[in-house]
Structure 1
């Protein structure tokens, strides 16, 4: 399985189709909110998407669950789960929906962590990164019980890679 995860693009709709075009072999594309685009905007339509605190269009759901192969992926923006201070509310909700992978944004800080066999990934921001200068998104590949998470910049160059 290969998925591409974006978040917090804050009005830059042109970057979304560029990222998608760079990964035509992905099984799915996820946008964790704060695109600031209308839900049906052509630039984000290929993504499974949720509403962030800066998204005005209430058509966006606040969370999504997607099953891909053997993995259950749960996505939310994060502002409703206090992600800037703790992962605990995310972990409780992940347990409720049976998620193996949790995708979220909001903090604009990239990160990946495995907690009790659940992978938590924040792709960072392609517009306004925090904690580093690179604007980032994530590519997650899984094989068996292991994951490779690559954080790439807007030119699709590797910033950080981790294997879990």
Structure 2
């Protein structure tokens, strides 16, 4: 299963749609907040379901702050990351991932793309598509049973 992961689009949903046009086909799309309303725009324009969570810049109550779900046989935790203070490190997010028995954690908030494995859990931050940012990025996941491959794709200006 091929998944595309966005976070921190901050209104730049047209770039996300352009990415999806070039990266197609995607079996699943994730949006990790800031702004989750962008995910709704992507969903309606691309006619594809987007799993979305709210970030710290989203209005409270409209979207969930966290989702735990299975993709294939992989338990995935979606969160923006601000509640786990990810700008100061991943310790609190690791604790949460262990508590929900996640195999894969998708988070944003820092605007810095990263892939790391901690305690046999894969943590993926797709970075940001923020307008004016010098480093725009997203993530591509390939998920098959319990195996996950993650790649960060950097976009040129």
Q: CA RMSD in A?
A: 2.3
| Residues 137 and 118 of structure 1, relative CA distance in 2, 3 Å threshold | same
Corresponding residue pairs, total: 152
Q: Is the 8 A contact 1:32 1:103 kept in 2?
A: yes
- Partner residue, 1:29: 29
- Partner residue, 1:153: 154
Larger relative contact order (Cα-Cα within 8 Å, sequence gap ≥ 6): 2
Q: Is the 8 A contact 1:109 1:129 kept in 2?
A: no
- Partner residue, 2:85: 82
Partner secondary structure for residue 43 of structure 1? helix
1:10-47: CA deviation from partner (whole Å, max 9, x where unpaired) = 011212322333333323111110026277x3324531
Partner secondary structure for residue 16 of structure 1? helix
Partners in 1 of 2:36 and 2:146 — Cα distance?
Answer: 35
Structure 2 unaligned spans of 5+: none
- Partner residue, 1:42: 41
Runs of 4+ in 1 over 6 A off after TM superposition: none
| Residues 38 and 120 of structure 1, relative CA distance in 2, 3 Å threshold | closer
Q: Does 1:65 align with 2:68?
A: yes
Partners in 2 of 1:34 and 1:27 — Cα distance?
Answer: 22
Partners in 1 of 2:130 and 2:36 — Cα distance?
Answer: 12
Q: Is the 8 A contact 1:38 1:57 kept in 2?
A: no
Give the alignment partner of residue 130 of structure 2, picking from 124, 127, 130. Answer: 127
Give the alignment partner of residue 51 of structure 1, picking from 49, 54, 57. Answer: 54
- Partner residue, 2:6: 6
Structure 1 unaligned spans of 5+: 156-164
TM-score, length-scaled by structure 2: 0.84
TM-score, length-scaled by structure 1: 0.81
